Amino acid sequence: MVKPLHVAEAGIRGVPANYGGSETAVEEVGSRLAADGVIIDVYCRRHRSDYGGGTYKGMRRVVLPSIPTSQLDTITHSLLATLDAVVRRRPDVIHFHGMGNALCLPLFALSRTRTVITIDGPDWERPKWGPVARRVLRFSARMAVRLADHLIIDNHPSIDYFRRVFGVADDGFTYIAYGADLDAPTETTELEALGLEPRGYFLFVGALVPDKGPDILLEAYPHVGGDLPLVVVGDSPFAPEFREELHRLSVRDDRIRMIGYQYGDAYRQLVANAYAYVHPPRREGTSPALLQAMGYGNCVVTNSLPEALAVTADAAIPFAQDDPADLARQLDRALADPQLVEEYRRRARERVRTEYSWDSVAAAHRQVYERLVRVR
């Protein structure tokens, strides 16, 4: 009898996916592979584990503690996951999500477990990190390139960067895009509970940190005409001064509604029914929220960030990079031309259908895992 492939997923908060893009990717890919006979262990953080079950969508949940601070939460949990994997579970492959987890790789030196790290770009360049964290992340990138058995990179600008700066060889990485759901919800009950109407608001989704650019949007919006509200979905427990700045910007315009985190049906209905989705990040790899907005058929207005333009191609309205004034002009343009908005909705959905299906993403991950096990 052939032993089933055994994969561990680490470096995330856990499943169910209630926290961000990496968690969603693990849930979407892991559940598909589990249904296909792969053993999937997902390392979950105890302080994020409200779900009590030992399995979820066929995946085995391994709940471990961590030090729940912005600097130590991920690395302390990943270190414990590493020890558990090396000593107890011994998977064929462990897949870390996030560059900082490369600090754990030396512990696999004598293990038969193969290591994979997903990276989405030069994370140390993001404004949210201080000088010490930036040095650690850059060091982690070097460790990832040297020590990981394989890298997964989800966007072409980052591939070019790691080739140029770190000399990553073509056989050292695989490009695998993020995925998105095409089945938009038809219910609007959660929307109505928030006092919103379908196609009656602009939408932003993201952590309220500088690299996501919410301040660019809040500076722009008072200069946008019309009476559509701007709905801001997200928060950040780790950037109190920046959050206070955003609050000062938001109170200048009573059309701006900051509604915090939204999950499940509320999140899906908000994304599916916006008039347009605004994507203003200063730094980002492939954004899960952007892809989901496109998959649900949104008109997207995006910052002219190379990574964002690589994802959207001709399926979004770009504004001049980091420019609130041009963002306001492009939002006014969208308001004035509903036919243009409909055309970009069609383009966005078609772009996701052809380039970002979860089934193809899951199949690509399995190919990487199986190839590493074969060459072991």
Which is higher by pLDDT, 240 or 255? 255
Residue 1: per-residue pLDDT? 66
64 plus 154 within the same structural domain = yes
Residue 8: per-residue pLDDT? 98
Residue 243 structural domain: 189-355
Residue 115: per-residue pLDDT? 98
pLDDT band at 48 (very low <50, low <70, confident <90, very high): confident
167 plus 226 within the same structural domain = no
The enclosing domain of 75 has a CATH number of 3.40.50.2000
Q: Is residue 348 part of a domain?
A: yes
Residue 49: per-residue pLDDT? 81
195 plus 175 within the same structural domain = no
Q: Is residue 293 part of a domain?
A: yes
Residue 92: per-residue pLDDT? 98
Residue 45, pLDDT above cutoff 90: yes
- pLDDT of 120-170, one tens digit each? 888 888 777 788 888 999 999 999 999 999 999 988 889 999 999 999 999
129 plus 197 within the same structural domain = no
Average pLDDT, the chain: 93
State the Cα–Cα distance between residues 144 and 288, nearest whole angstrom.
23
261 plus 153 within the same structural domain = no
Identify the CA nearest to 301 among candidates 327, 323, 281.
327
What does the pLDDT average to over 329-350?
Answer: 98
Residues 6+ apart with CB under 8 A from 101: 10, 11, 74, 75, 78, 117, 140
Residue 99, pLDDT above cutoff 70: yes
Residue 30 near residue 57, CB atoms below 8 Å: yes
Identify the CA nearest to 297 among candidates 190, 230, 203.
203
- pLDDT of 204-228, one tens digit each? 999 999 999 999 999 999 999 999 9
Residue 126: per-residue pLDDT? 76
Residues 6+ apart with CB under 8 A from 325: 220, 223
Q: Is residue 1 part of a domain?
A: no
Q: Is residue 137 part of a domain?
A: yes
| 233: amino acid identity, one letter | V
336 plus 370 within the same structural domain = no
- pLDDT of 306-320, one tens digit each? 889 999 999 999 999
What does the pLDDT average to over 39-57?
Answer: 92
Q: Is residue 184 part of a domain?
A: no
Q: Is residue 309 part of a domain?
A: yes
Residue 80: per-residue pLDDT? 98
Domain count, the chain: 2
- pLDDT of 278-287, one tens digit each? 999 998 878 8
Q: Is residue 275 part of a domain?
A: yes
What does the pLDDT average to over 296-313?
Answer: 94
Which is higher by pLDDT, 121 or 67? 67
Backbone angles phi, psi at 303, to 5 degrees: -60, 145
What does the pLDDT average to over 166-188?
Answer: 92
66 plus 171 within the same structural domain = yes
Residue 120: per-residue pLDDT? 82
228 plus 131 within the same structural domain = no
CB atoms within 10 A of CB 45: 22
133 plus 233 within the same structural domain = no
DSSP class of residue 128 equals T
Residue 286 near residue 311, CB atoms below 8 Å: yes
89 plus 99 within the same structural domain = yes
Q: pTM above 0.85?
A: no
73 plus 167 within the same structural domain = yes
206 plus 152 within the same structural domain = no
- pLDDT of 255-270, one tens digit each? 999 999 998 899 999 9
Residue 324, pLDDT above cutoff 80: yes
Percent of the chain with pLDDT over 70: 99
Identify the CA nearest to 228 among candidates 204, 197, 265.
197
Phi/psi region, residue 261 (left: phi>0; alpha: psi -120 to 50; beta: rest), is beta
On the 0-12 / 13-18 / 19+ scale of CB atoms within 10 A, 1 is exposed
CA angle 121, 168, 107 (to 5 degrees): 80
